[in-house]
């Protein structure tokens, strides 16, 4: 069996526009959640989100006309991909003639949850505005509103001729992108693959829709920094966020042959479906637990082999309670000794990018031997079954040899990944 390793990392998030800044803020419990500035949210019941701030692609010397034709989420993915590819030791096309990340053995899989809705909303506003009308929809609207646009742009910019795939499994999309990327490498279809997630979802329609579901917290508009509080008894919903994250995955021998730095090995991946409800998770987290069990079995690991679990931890009552049950099912008595945290408390819920950035955080946690905190966890919801060690408010040092992350999406999608030091 071909082994899969992580050789590069890149991200754009509410906590920072690169890996270094994002990790430092997550590690130190600094949240990127604040009042919405992308549009006037004063009339909405929810007025906060995790926005990407002051982001630019200028450092990559891309054609400005090309950048203007990209949707917001695509720009995030391009930036995260460029950082990750450079971090992996490859050269970019803007740094040499064609770069060296080329050919049919290089691919990308991008997970999206909401995807290009911001482009759709902008186009509809013009379409329905009498001052513009049907003939005044911007000419690049069509390519900007199809969900494969982000992965396609990255493949074009990096001269990759391998598969450029987009998948959507709601909030587990980023994790499932890692699983599919691993499958392609193990099968020999590619030697290198960008496993990624991206979403730019902070729009008036999305905010209204998720608020109508009572999925978002309406209680902290005046104090956004404490709004996302996973596993806390005062949690009242998740906080929408945007961004992108990319892991350069590579076949082990290929990485060794080119002298690449190896961050970690992707030891196991799995996906399941609850087949239960379109928005609610299984109360006992059974099928999420099955996904994690399968990923651990592929990795050849027992519960006590894993030191850190990055929780989906959305700060909704249903998710946090069912996920706590999931952890107890998989880890048994060891669950009480397991280091757990939900870094959504800092980043917010990046939907399609959530699983990818949380796997990236697992890699950084292993690299530095540090468990990041779950902030705003002041009163654990013991009665709701949230009675584990979620690393409240302050991170801790720990020799992490292996880490796991689970993503749980609307529709009952469950994705799990297990990573280990090599």
Q: Catalytic amino acids?
A: 171, 312, 349
d(CA 177, CA 188) in angstroms, rounded, equals 17
CB burial readout 192-225, b (16+ within 10 A) else e = bbbbbbbbbbbbbebbbebbeeebbbebbbeebe
Q: Which residue, 156, 66, 72, is CA-closest to 112?
A: 72
DSSP code of residue 91: P
* Torsion, CA 374, CA 377, CA 382, CA 386, rounded to 10: -20
Cα separation values, 219 from 185, 236, 372, 382, Å:
45, 7, 25, 21
Distance of CA 324 to the CA centre of its chain: 20
d(CA 327, CA 337) in angstroms, rounded, equals 11
Cα separation values, 327 from 304, 323, 418, Å:
12, 6, 14
Residue with tokens 């006037």, as numbered in its chain: 40
Residue 100: φ, ψ to 5°? -125, 15
- The two structure tokens encoding residue 126: 């013009």
Burial class (CB in 10 A: 0-12, 13-18, 19+), 329: middle
- Radius of gyration of the chain, Cα coordinates, nearest whole angstrom: 20
Question: Of all helices (H) and strands (E), which one includes residue 346?
Answer: helix 344-347
CA atoms within 13 A on the CB side of 207: 26
Residue 357: φ, ψ to 5°? -70, -30
């Amino acid at each position: 069996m071909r082994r899969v390793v992580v050789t590069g990392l890149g991200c754009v998030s509410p906590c920072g526009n690169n890996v270094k800044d994002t990790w430092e803020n997550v590690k130190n419990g600094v949240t990127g959640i604040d009042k919405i500035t992308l549009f006037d949210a004063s009339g909405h019941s929810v007025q906060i989100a995790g926005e990407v701030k002051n982001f630019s692609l200028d450092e990559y010397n891309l054609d400005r006309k090309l950048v203007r034709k990209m949707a917001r989420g695509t720009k995030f993915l391009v930036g995260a991909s460029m950082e990750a590819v450079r971090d992996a030791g490859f050269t970019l096309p803007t740094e040499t003639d064609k770069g060296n990340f080329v050919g049919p053995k290089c691919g990308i899989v991008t997970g999206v949850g909401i995807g290009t809705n911001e482009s759709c909303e902008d186009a509809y506003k013009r379409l329905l505005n009498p001052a513009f009308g049907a003939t005044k929809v911007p000419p690049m609207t069509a390519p900007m509103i199809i969900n494969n646009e982000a992965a396609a742009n990255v493949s074009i910019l990096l001269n990759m001729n391998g598969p450029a795939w987009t998948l959507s499994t709601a909030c587990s999309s980023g994790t499932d992108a890692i699983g599919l990327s691993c499958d392609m490498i193990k099968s020999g279809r590619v030697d290198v693959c960008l496993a990624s997630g991206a979403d730019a979802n902070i729009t008036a329609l999305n905010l209204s829709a998720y608020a109508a579901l009572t999925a978002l917290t309406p209680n902290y508009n005046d104090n956004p920094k404490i709004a996302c509080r996973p596993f806390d008894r005062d949690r009242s919903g998740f906080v929408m966020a945007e961004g992108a994250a990319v892991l350069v995955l590579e076949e082990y021998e290929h990485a060794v042959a080119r002298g690449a730095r190896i961050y970690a090995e992707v030891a196991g991946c799995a996906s399941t479906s609850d087949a239960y409800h379109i928005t609610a998770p299984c109360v006992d987290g059974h099928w999420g637990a099955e996904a994690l069990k399968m990923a651990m079995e592929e990795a050849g690991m027992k519960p006590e082999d894993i030191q850190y679990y990055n929780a989906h931890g959305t700060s909704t009552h249903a998710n946090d309670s069912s996920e706590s049950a999931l952890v107890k099912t998989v880890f048994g008595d060891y669950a009480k000794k397991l280091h757990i945290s939900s870094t959504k408390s800092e980043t917010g819920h990046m939907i399609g990018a959530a699983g990818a950035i949380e796997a990236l955080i697992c890699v950084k946690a292993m690299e530095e031997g540090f468990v990041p905190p779950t902030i705003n966890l002041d009163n654990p919801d013991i009665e709701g079954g949230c009675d584990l060690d979620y690393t409240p408010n302050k991170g801790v040092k720990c020799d992490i040899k292996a880490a796991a992350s689970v993503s749980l999406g609307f529709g009952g999608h469950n994705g799990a990944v297990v990573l280990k030091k090599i």
